[in-house]
Structure 1
Amino acid sequence: MKKISFWIKGLLLFVVFYFLFLRPIPYYIERPGSAEDLDPMIEVEGEYSSEPGKFMMTTVEILQATPFTYLFQFLPYNDVVSETELFGDIEDYEEYNTLQSYYMESSIHSAIVAAFDAAGLPYNLEYKGVYVMSVTENSNFAGILQMGDTITEVDDLKFENTEEFMDYIKSLEVGKTVSIKYERDGTEYISEGDLIELEETGESGIGISLVDQSSVETDPEVVIHSGEIGGPSAGLMYSLQVYSMVTNTNLRAGHIIAGTGTISEDGTIGPIGGIDKKVVAADEEGATIFFAPDEEIDSDLKEEYPDYKSNYEIAVEAAEDIDTDMEIVPVKTFNDAIKYLEQLSPVSSRFDPEQKVDALAA
């Protein structure tokens, strides 16, 4: 009898433990992630930077919640978001990761272009095709095309840009059968299907949302190893590392510099989410400087959301809250960041050896 009671108690404890600590619920925890040194991530002509100091990208960690971790929302810089808030119209975490991978790839592309433009170095942009962001339910290619596929040809025709691609599709009649060549994970496929009438415009279409897919070739060659990190927010810091390496300038001057922000090919820096958590992550890794996007807030947006704050304002508040000595630097463009770094004094020059000896002698 005692043995049966022991097993029943053990089973009950396991059930309680599972439902409290292991059972996932449709919420996610966003909290400070890491600040990653870019030296081992970026190579130019097969070489890695070994200059004093660091450029660091920052991340936000996302964990699926359990009933227990749901309580993390009461900890500083831990927020709970619903699946709808996190994924939007995306159906699952795999599609979310695919989208984040695209954003990272696009961010790398823009970062390299911005850095080479600023350095006055040549590069070559090559149009690869159309990147599939989503497929509508009524599309005759639903179940065939997937998010992340790249359409390279239609009816054996290649295109110079996405506008040419769209113009060709629009020129065909609804119901016309087209042959589409596309790439997925490095493998080419060909499928046929009929065009549909698009609800928004009444024109013929495949039934997909899309963006450009292109690559950039440079001399010297730049390779960025982003690993499993996704999203577009490392763009600014990638650009700074690449620029510093291709121009052979030690911009960081021995400082540990973190930051965040998207970057466009023309060098415009855009806002990102979770910047307060990234400030915390950078401070924990010893950063002394943090670049924060200082985006212009549209007057209509400010009128509708009076409490809306720029990334820079949020970053300053977080820095004050955690009482860090890290300097928060507002930047609107890539050139803003370069100008700030160019006036930095080297870390070593802060200390006068003779003064140090005198201090010790005293």
Structure 2
Amino acid sequence: MPRRTATLLTSALLLITMFCVGALLNVPYAEMSPGPTVNTLGGHGGDPVLNVKDQPGQADKPKKYRNSGHLNMTTVRVTGSEYRMTLFGALSGWLRHDSLVVPYETLYPDDKSAKEVDRENAEEFSASQESAKAAALKELHLPVSTHVLVGSVEKGAPAHNRLHAGDVITAVDGTPVGKAESVGKLVTQHKPGEKVTFTVIPAGKAKAAQKQGKKPSAKDARKVTVGTEKARDDGRAVVGIQPAVGHTFPFEIDIKLADIGGPSAGLMFALGIVDKLTPTNLTGGKFVAGTGTIDDDGKVGEIGGIQMKTVGARKKGAQYFLTPAGNCATAAQDKPDGLTLVKTSSIDDALSSLKKIRSGKTDELTQCRAH
């Protein structure tokens, strides 16, 4: 066989081998890409994303307004926990502008199952909705009260089937509680094996009152005695619940958006609620998207996957993107053409920026800059 032919054959075999290895060799990475972006002022799946409801017999009915434009929340699509990325898949993702390849444990930590990750995402999404409602109504100077409730109950723990998610906790061993962290402190005063008495308003009673814009009533409270066990990590007494903060609003605000997780839609939900409850068209008809966590007082926090969210927003048609201050530098490093990144630290910042956008004073916007 001529040397030239042998060399070509050897090279071809090496290429085939490398192709097979790249196609079959799994690497410990996962992929993030732009996910759906949904207008909080519009509908999704046949239902309005935000629905402010009147209740029968309610004295002060909320005034609702129809406004144009977009206040889009953004998402990131991630590969599933069972997906195993190949070497070629990783290389392809690294080369694409609309993809981000990250270590697998970034999305699915070794100490958590996929179900635990999904549950945490769902809980964070639910909590973000509550904080968005609180921040929006406080911005409008409407009454908002808070209370401590059972956020979740660990299966098989002493509290399982004794306490339930949504139960309002008014006292532990007769001591009134006003903060979620107070519950754990009072429980850990016991030794493992001892009993704790919770005074709770059942979830059903609490929810019925809240739908009418009323605080959960103390007359519905009952005492529940729960045993304790030793915590696996440090041996302290625990009952197996995760306390959380609940709110009572003057009217019901229903947020419907399925198959979304995590807390990053909080800011856009809050702005959507403000828009629906005020006559001012916040966007002036412009296409504004954004992201960011939000707390009860309207402070905006940073999120993950910012570059995928800006890409997704621009593809959908967004002109402006409300960007958490903590994400600004990263977002600005690879900004999509035609998208203005607006630095946002609070709901007040966001509302001020929206005023500049609708009035045409966009040169006054505080834009994100790459360091």
TM > 0.5 between the two? yes
Residue 111 (structure 1) aligns with:
132
1:196 alignment partner, one of 230, 233, 241: 230
| 1:73-222 superposed matches below 5 A | 73-74=93-94, 75-88=96-109, 90-132=111-153, 141=157, 160-161=177-178, 162-177=180-195, 193-196=227-230, 200=234, 204-206=236-238, 210-219=242-251, 221-222=252-253
Is 1:291 aligned to 2:355, yes or no?
A: no
Segments of 5+ residues of structure 2 without an aligned counterpart are 1-19, 44-48, 55-62, 205-223, 361-371
SS in 2 for 1:95: helix
Distance 1:42 1:197, change over 3 A: closer
* Alignment RMSD: 3.9
Residue 226 (structure 1) aligns with:
257
CA contact 1:26–1:83 (8 Å) conserved in 2: yes
Shift of 1:254: 0.4
Q: After superposition, what is the alpha-carbon deviation per residue over 1:107-143, rounded to whole angstroms, capped at 9, x for unaligned?
A: 11111111111111122334322535x79xxxx8389
Distance 1:274 1:261, change over 3 A: same
1:276 alignment partner, one of 307, 332, 341: 307
Is 1:44 aligned to 2:18, yes or no?
A: no
CA contact 2:147–2:168 (8 Å) conserved in 1: no
Distance 1:333 1:143, change over 3 A: closer
CA contact 2:52–2:253 (8 Å) conserved in 1: yes
Distance 1:34 1:126, change over 3 A: same
Residue 328 (structure 1) aligns with:
341
CA contact 1:52–1:254 (8 Å) conserved in 2: yes
CA contact 1:261–1:293 (8 Å) conserved in 2: yes
Please give the alpha-carbon distance, in whole angstroms, between the structure 2 residues aligned to 1:143 and 1:222.
30
Residue 280 (structure 2) aligns with:
249
Please give the alpha-carbon distance, in whole angstroms, between the structure 2 residues aligned to 1:69 and 1:151.
47
Please give the alpha-carbon distance, in whole angstroms, between the structure 2 residues aligned to 1:155 and 1:337.
40
1:265 alignment partner, one of 275, 283, 296: 296
Q: After superposition, what is the alpha-carbon deviation per residue over 1:15-55, rounded to whole angstroms, capped at 9, x for unaligned?
A: xx9x969x998642111112111122111236986422111
With 117-126 and 100-109 compared, the bigger mean Cα shift is at 117-126
CA contact 2:286–2:358 (8 Å) conserved in 1: no
- Quick one: which amino acid aligns to residue 170 of structure 1? T
Segments of 5+ residues of structure 1 without an aligned counterpart are 1-16, 296-310, 348-362
Shift of 1:155: 8.6
| 1:312-327 superposed matches below 5 A | 312-319=328-335, 322=336, 324-327=337-340
Please give the alpha-carbon distance, in whole angstroms, between the structure 2 residues aligned to 1:158 and 1:225.
37
SS in 2 for 1:122: coil
2:74 alignment partner, one of 49, 54, 58: 58
Distance 1:49 1:168, change over 3 A: same
SS in 2 for 1:172: coil
Residue 360 (structure 1) aligns with:
none
Please give the alpha-carbon distance, in whole angstroms, between the structure 2 residues aligned to 1:251 and 1:84.
40
Distance 1:151 1:82, change over 3 A: farther
Residue 37 (structure 2) aligns with:
35
CA contact 1:128–1:215 (8 Å) conserved in 2: no
Distance 1:100 1:199, change over 3 A: closer
Q: TM-score, normalised by structure 2?
A: 0.68
Q: Alignment identity in percent?
A: 25
Distance 1:115 1:197, change over 3 A: closer
